[in-house]
Amino acid sequence: QFTPRVFSGIQPSGGLHLGNYLGAIQGFVKKQEQDIQTLYCMVDMHAITVWQDPAELTQNTRELAAGFIASGLDPAQSILFNQSQVAEHAQLAWIFNCVARMGWMKRMTQWKDKAGKNSENASLGLLAYPALMAADILIYHATEVPVGEDQKQHLELTRDIAAKFNNDYGVDFFPMTEPVIEGAATRVMSLRDGSKKMSKSDPSDMSRIKMTDSAEDIAKKIRKAKTDPEGLPSEVEGLTDRPEARNLVNIYAALAEQSAEEVLAEMGGKQFGEFKPLLADLAVAKLAPISTEMSRLMQDTAEIDRILAKGAAAASEIAAPILKRTKEIVGM
């Protein structure tokens, strides 16, 4: 009964990295190519759950939009917009704050990781983050959300909120949204530590490849990436308990749009000294055109602002009637 519709978002908190690209953006582009409506959002209201310098937030939002477009998202095919420009997100989020339970929020691993030991001093928004995320998705009755593996728990919570709303009010109004976690690299790990995910909050610059890194930097980071003394196995079973080796194989596979099995069938037996330069060449071939196009787009920020304003208007057209109906259901 729900029309298939795709929504996803990324925080404009600075520095798109390879994890974002392989875990999320490549999947956004895949969905855009299908016969399905796609909405992609710069979630600036999520970004401010931790401190953001105002001028940098503005710059990062435009740069993220440029990153989306340079990666193949076409404003004529996908609705690209900035979350804070579509007021319905915040309005539905408040209603969801009253549906969701505190205990649900406190159980989220992202809350535990980000709030850390000093959680009494974290923003209230950081705790409520998943309710806003549920609103981002459900304000469009989105049925599918392409994301990296780290977002699986938040998607489950989105379904919990939808189910509780439907149950509390005796309606079948919000869909049970499915995460779309696809590709060979749904969880890209740090290049320095195979037990941590690649993240923009990692203090080590060598831990991640940024979309805007130069060819030299990409090659250097891959050359210095942590591995073990063994070479590449010819089957994936040979990657068991070798998180760093597995990570590099998965990155190669995702960049080549192959499976890890296919990569190993070809590369098995090589030493990392031989494999790493091939991986670096592939990463540069894929990322350099995107980063060149990003810089070109950033020369005309007024055009980016126009694209985002148009996107916000289009998004609002879908969101407004869904918010109106939600309020009626609640009795408002």
Site of interaction with ligand ADP (CB under 6 A): 10-11, 13, 19-20, 23-24, 147-148, 150-151, 186-188, 197-200
Give the nearest distance from C-beta 9 to ligand ADP in angstroms.
7
Instruction: Select the residue whose beta carbon is closest to ligand ADP and give its number.
Output: 23
C-beta closer to ligand ADP: residue 99 or 287: 287
C-beta closer to ligand ADP: residue 147 or 279: 147
Element (H, E) at 180: strand 178-180
Describe the strand order of the beta sheet including 178-180 as a list of residue ranges: 78-82, 37-42, 5-10, 144-146, 178-180
Query: Is 198 known to sit in a ligand binding site?
Result: yes
Enter the DSSP assignment of 188: P
Active-site annotation holds for 324: no
φ, ψ dihedrals at 192, nearest 5°: -100, -20
Active-site annotation holds for 114: yes
Active-site entry in 30, 114, 226, 270: 114
Helices (H) and strands (E) in the chain, counts: 14, 5
Query: Is 78 known to sit in a ligand binding site?
Result: no
Give the nearest distance from C-beta 273 to ligand ADP in angstroms.
25
C-beta closer to ligand ADP: residue 191 or 267: 191
C-beta closer to ligand ADP: residue 154 or 326: 154
Active-site annotation holds for 196: no
If we measure between CA atoms, which residue out of 285, 298, 240 comes closest to residue 264?
240
Query: Is 12 known to sit in a ligand binding site?
Result: yes
If we measure between CA atoms, which residue out of 66, 40, 14, 71 comes closest to residue 311?
40
Distance CA 83, CA 49 (A): 14
Enter the DSSP assignment of 236: G
Q: Using an 8 Å Cβ cutoff, are 108 and 150 in contact?
A: no
Binding site residue list: 11-13, 19-20, 136, 148-150, 188, 197-201
- Catalytically active residues are 114, 197, 200
Q: Which residues are annotated as a binding site for ATP?
A: 11-13, 19-20, 148-150, 188, 197-201
